[in-house]
């Protein structure tokens, strides 16, 4: 009787082969991991991946916070106090979300500064810069909408002033303020609107743009620094 | 070197990059190793800040709704938001300080739009469109004088604005004994408006020390708001608004303790409305110190 089973090494590979045959995901993963990058890339070029780490951290801590937070003017502040004072390690989750947002903005500036100094927005990477710039603006919108949610005095007044400043814009300004606040002043609806933007619309948009940004980085490759000595010489091509 | 066409320049870059890539190293594990180290440091910093923040918290206050104070990284949270009652200095998060400072520079009503809309819009268009503005193909900074100048000036301007924004003054205490002064200083008004008579140094809205406002305009602005100013008709009663408008009309455009040029326009309602409104509105400076 011949053996019914293939050798163990082949059995171990079967799940992976099954996935690969149906989706091609393994080849995509291999392509992403084992592509070549210029050998003189610098430590300054790690900031983008650090930003993605912070984004994942913000998303994770954000989900945990959303399990306790209630976007209602009567209870929002109490749930924040509960998370900070009573929930197990709630202070750590809220603290990391709070300080993570500041660090994210700092890293965004540094990442953008690095790209600028390297001239990495030039051909063929113009679209990578544009997606990054839009992500930057959306992250600022993220922090503005997140600021109100704590619903303490600082949060409230900063948002009143922010939204009203918005209202000084001609034509669309007052309408935009009205839409943001859902009426002439901050109310229950304002808070749930900011919450929906902060935890659904904006992170969704940012996540999608990060995917596009990342795809462009992988497709076009990482630049080598402008001081690179790796120059193509005649006869080398 | 002969001048290349745009197409030739692009081809040349692609050739050069293909060469660098061919003689490069694998993303995994080389770049991934560096990325992991930096990511771990960043997460470490975030955790460190959270722990430092938490370690300096004061005990939870027994009264409900009040601030739980902290140390150098600020309180755990401030008191529950209470619209219109507390004087409050509405500082944004630090990364909006530069915008906040722009608004303080362009604070007159005619210029407000420059700081609030025009500059930020121009800034966003420049940011997104930068690859199309900078057409210089060279990547070395020594060959990019314009980009280098922009790259040096923009951070300096942003850091300067952020620095001054962080130093922006908040609300002050009441100086005047006039009816309504304490309510002005203790309420939301002083948050934004400088007003010598009320001892307030807010700097977001127009200064009432410098600008005389007549009674009808003051009442309309308080009740309905305008531009960056919120409407207070939901917060204050009719008499309270009359009192505040009367107080502003009487003392605006003048140094502390003196009547301004529009004082006569308020004569009918002020200070009578303050008596009717009662509380903080009726009293002078004494009520403010007791607050």
d(CA A4, nearest CA chain B) in Å: 38
B34:A102 CB<8 A = no
Q: Please give the pLDDT value at position A181.
A: 84
Give A159's strand partners.
Answer: none
Smallest Cα–Cα separation from B175: which of B196, B194, B191, B192? Answer: B196
- Residue pair B136/B148 in contact by the 8 Å Cβ criterion: no
Examine residue A183 and state whether it is found in any structural domain, yes or no: yes
Please tell me which residue, B11 or B106, carries the higher pLDDT value: B11
Q: Is residue B196's pLDDT more than 90?
A: no
Distance from CA of B183 to the nearest CA of A (A): 18
Contact at CB, B27 and A36, closer than 8 angstroms = yes
Q: Do B39 and A117 touch (CB under 8 A)?
A: no
**Please, which residues have CB within 8 angstroms of residue A9's CB and are 6 or more apart in sequence?**
none
Chain-chain contact of B24 with A37 (C-beta, under 8 angstroms): yes
In chain A, residues 18-77 whose CB comes closer than 8 Å to chain B: 32-39, 41, 43, 45-47, 49-50, 53-54, 57, 73, 77
Q: Do B77 and A222 touch (CB under 8 A)?
A: no
Q: What is the pLDDT of residue B291?
A: 32
Q: Which candidate in A31, A34, A40, A160 is best for mutational testing of the B interface (most B CBs within 10 A)? A: A160
Confidence of residue B283 (pLDDT cuts 50, 70, 90): low
d(CA A110, nearest CA chain B) in Å: 10
Q: What is the pLDDT of residues B159-190, one digit of tens each?
A: 999 998 887 754 333 346 678 877 787 677 87
Alpha carbons A213 and A51: distance in angstroms, whole number: 12
Task: Report d(CA A105, CA B160) in Å as an integer.
Answer: 17
- Whether A49 sits inside 8 A of B38 (CB atoms) is yes
Chain centroid, CA B207 distance in Å = 16
Whether chain B has a CB inside 8 Å of the CB on A174: the answer is no
pLDDT over 90 at A35, yes or no = yes
pLDDT at B75 (0 to 100): 93
Rounded Cα–Cα distance for residues B277 and B222 (Å): 15
Sorting pLDDT into bands at 50, 70 and 90, what band is A234? low
Phi-psi region of B87 (alpha: psi -120 to 50; beta: other; left: phi over 0): beta
Which tokens is B129 given? 């469109």
* Structure-block tokens of residue A79: 């749930």
Question: How many structural domains is chain A composed of?
Answer: 1
Cβ within 8 Å, pair A46-B192: no
Q: Kindly determine whether residue B230 and residue A232, on different chains, have CB atoms separated by under 8 Å.
A: no
The mean per-residue pLDDT over the stretch A125-149 comes to 95
Do residue A237 and residue B130 have CB atoms under 8 angstroms apart? no
Structural domain of A123: 43-220
Give A150's pLDDT tier (boundaries 50, 70, 90): very high
Out of A112-116, A128-132, B100-104, B128-132, pick the least confident. Answer: B100-104
pLDDT for the residue numbered B88: 62
User: Hey, are the CB atoms on B76 and A85 less than 8 Å from each other?
Assistant: yes
**CB contact at 8 A, B280 and B188:** no
Q: How far is C-alpha B75 from the geometric centre of its chain's CA atoms?
A: 19
What is the residue-wise DSSP string for A89-144?
A: THHHHHHHHHHHHHHHHHHHHHHHHHHHHHTTTSTT-HHHHHHHHHHHHHHHHHHH
Name the band, by pLDDT with cuts 50, 70 and 90, for residue B35: very high
Chain A CB contacts of B19 under 8 Å are 230, 232, 236-237
The model's pLDDT over B216-272, given as tens digits with 9 standing for 90+, comes to 898 998 888 887 788 888 778 888 888 888 888 888 888 777 788 888 888 888 888
Query: Which range has the worst mean pLDDT, B27-41, B99-113, B203-217?
Result: B99-113
Mean pLDDT of A190-208: 96
CA distances from B223 to B50, B52, B239, B240, B275 (A): 42, 44, 11, 10, 19
Q: How many whole angstroms separate alpha carbon A130 and alpha carbon A112? A: 11
Choose between A168 and B265: higher pLDDT: B265
Which residues from chain A sit within 8 angstroms of residue B112, using beta carbons? Answer: 168
Return the residue in A164, A170, A171 with the most chain B beta carbons within 10 A, the one to mutate for interface testing: A164
Residue A25, in any domain of the structure: no
* A:B CB pairs within 8 Å: 255
Residue A57 lies in a domain: yes
Query: For chain B, what is the mean pLDDT?
Result: 83
pLDDT for residue A236: 52
Instruction: Tell me whether residue B274 is exposed, middle or buried, using C-beta atoms within 10 angstroms of its C-beta: 0 to 12, 13 to 18, 19 or more.
Output: buried
Tokens 């000036």 correspond to: B153
**In this model, does residue B278 exceed pLDDT 70?**
yes
Residue A21 lies in a domain: no
Whether residue A75 contacts residue B64, with contact meaning beta carbons closer than 8 Å, is answered with: no
Percentage, residues of chain A above pLDDT 70: 96
Contacts with B140 from chain A: Cβ below 8 Å: 119, 226-227
User: Tell me, what's the pLDDT at B26?
Assistant: 93
Q: Residue A146: is the preceding peptide bond cis (ω within 30°)?
A: no
Domain extents for chain B? 90-168, 181-290
pLDDT of amino acid B39: 98
How confident is the model at residue A137, as a pLDDT? 95
B272: left (phi over 0), alpha (psi -120 to 50) or beta: alpha
Q: Which listed CATH number (3.60.110.10, 1.10.760.10, 2.40.50.100, 1.20.140.10) goes with B181-290?
A: 1.10.760.10
Min Cα distance B284 → chain A (Å) is: 26
CA dist B248 and B257 (Å) reads 12
> How far does chain B reach from its first CA to its final CA, in angstroms?
78
Nearest to B90 among A47, A158, A173 (CB): A158
With beta carbons less than 8 A apart as the criterion, state whether B27 and A33 touch.
yes
> How many Å from the N-terminal Cα to the C-terminal Cα in chain A?
58
Reference A104, options A65, A136, A62; nearest CA is A136
Q: Each residue of A16-55: b (16+ CB within 10 Å) or e?
A: eeeebeeeeeeeeeeeeeebbbbeebeeebbbbbbbebbb
Q: CA B4 to CA B238: how far, in whole Å?
A: 74
Per DSSP, helices labelled H in chain B are 6-22, 32-55, 97-105, 112-113, 119-133, 145-166, 181-186, 189-192, 215-224, 238-251, 272-277, 285-290
Q: Summarize the confidence of residues B39-44 as an average pLDDT.
A: 98
pLDDT at B240: 86
Q: Is A84–B68 a contact, with Cβ atoms under 8 angstroms apart?
A: yes
pLDDT at residue B72 is higher than 60: yes
B2 pLDDT tier (thresholds 50, 70, 90): low
B84: left (phi over 0), alpha (psi -120 to 50) or beta: left
Interface of A with B in 122-141 (CB under 8 A): 122-126, 129-130, 133-134, 136-137, 140
Residues of A within 8 A of B94 (CB-CB) are 102
Q: What is the pLDDT of residues A202-231, one digit of tens each?
A: 999 999 999 999 999 999 999 999 988 877
Q: Phi-psi bin for A70: left (phi > 0), alpha (psi -120 to 50), beta?
A: beta
Average pLDDT over residues A41-60: 96
Between the CA atoms of B186, B191, B192 and B194, what dihedral angle is there, to the nearest 10 degrees?
60
Q: Which of B89, B91, B140 sits opposite A226 (nearest CB)?
A: B140
Fold of B90-168: Helix Hairpins (1.10.287)
Q: Inform me whether the pLDDT recorded for B98 exceeds 70.
A: yes
Can you list the pairs that B162-167 forms with residues at least 24 positions away whose Cβ atoms lie under 8 Å? B162/B94, B162/B95, B162/B97, B162/B98, B162/B101, B163/B97, B164/B101, B164/B104, B165/B96, B165/B97, B165/B98, B165/B99, B165/B100, B165/B101, B165/B104, B166/B94, B166/B97
Average pLDDT, chain A: 91
Give the pLDDT score at A132.
Answer: 97
ipTM, two decimals, is 0.93
Chain A interface, best mutation among B27, B45, B81, by max A CB count within 10 A: B81
Confidence of residue B100 (pLDDT cuts 50, 70, 90): confident
Q: How many helices (H) and strands (E) does chain B have?
A: 12, 3
Pairwise CA distance, residues B232 & B219, whole Å: 10
Sequence-separated (6 or more) residues with CB below 8 Å from residue B246: B180, B215, B218, B266, B269, B270, B271, B273, B274
* Residue A237 pLDDT class (50, 70, 90 cuts): very low
């Amino acid at each position: 009787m011949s053996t019914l089973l293939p050798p163990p090494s082949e059995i171990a590979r079967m799940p992976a082969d099954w996935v690969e045959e149906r989706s091609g995901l393994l080849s995509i993963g291999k392509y992403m991991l084992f592509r070549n990058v210029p050998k003189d890339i610098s430590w300054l070029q790690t900031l983008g991946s650090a930003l993605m780490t912070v984004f994942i951290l913000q998303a994770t801590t954000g989900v945990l916070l959303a399990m306790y937070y209630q976007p209602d003017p009567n209870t929002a502040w109490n749930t924040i106090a509960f998370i900070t004072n009573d929930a197990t390690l709630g202070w750590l989750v809220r603290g990391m979300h709070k300080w993570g947002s500041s660090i994210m903005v700092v890293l965004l500036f540094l990442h953008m500064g690095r790209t600028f100094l390297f001239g990495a927005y030039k051909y063929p990477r113009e679209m990578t810069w544009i997606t990054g710039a839009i992500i930057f603006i959306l992250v600022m919108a993220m922090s503005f909408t997140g600021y109100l949610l704590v619903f303490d005095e600082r949060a409230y007044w900063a948002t009143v002033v922010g939204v009203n400043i918005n209202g000084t814009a001609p034509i669309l300004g007052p309408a935009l303020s009205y839409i943001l606040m859902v009426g002439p002043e901050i109310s229950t609806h304002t808070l749930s609107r900011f919450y929906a933007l902060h935890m659904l619309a904006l992170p969704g948009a940012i996540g999608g743009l990060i995917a596009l940004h990342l795809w462009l980085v992988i497709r076009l490759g990482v630049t080598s620094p402008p001081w690179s000595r790796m120059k193509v010489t005649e006869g080398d091509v | 070197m002969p001048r290349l066409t745009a197409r030739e320049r692009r081809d040349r870059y692609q050739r050069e990059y293909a060469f660098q890539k061919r003689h490069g190293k694998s993303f995994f594990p080389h770049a991934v190793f560096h990325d992991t180290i930096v990511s771990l440091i960043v997460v470490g910093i975030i955790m460190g800040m959270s722990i430092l923040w938490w370690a300096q918290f004061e005990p939870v206050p027994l009264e409900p709704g009040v601030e739980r104070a902290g140390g150098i990284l600020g309180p755990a949270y401030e008191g529950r938001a209470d619209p219109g009652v507390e004087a409050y200095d509405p500082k944004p998060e630090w990364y909006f300080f530069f915008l906040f400072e722009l608004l303080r520079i362009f604070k007159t009503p005619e210029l407000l739009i420059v700081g609030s809309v025009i500059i930020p819009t121009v800034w966003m268009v420049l940011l997104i469109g930068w690859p199309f503005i900078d057409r210089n193909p060279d990547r070395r900074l020594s060959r990019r004088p314009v980009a280098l100048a922009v790259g040096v000036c923009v951070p300096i301007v942003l850091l300067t604005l952020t620095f001054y924004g962080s130093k922006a003054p908040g609300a002050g205490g009441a100086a005047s004994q006039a009816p309504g002064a304490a309510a002005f200083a203790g309420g939301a008004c002083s948050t934004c408006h400088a007003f010598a008579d009320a001892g307030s140094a807010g700097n977001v809205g127009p200064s009432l020390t410098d600008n005389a406002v007549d009674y009808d305009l003051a009442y309309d602005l308080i009740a309905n708001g305008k531009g960056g100013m919120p409407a207070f008709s939901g917060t204050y009663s009719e008499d309270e608004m009359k009192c505040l408008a009367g107080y502003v009309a009487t003392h605006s455009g003048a140094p502390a303790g003196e009547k301004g040029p529009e004082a006569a326009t308020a004569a009918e309602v002020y200070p009578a409305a303050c008596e009717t409104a009662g509380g903080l509105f009726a009293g002078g400076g004494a009520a403010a110190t007791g607050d």
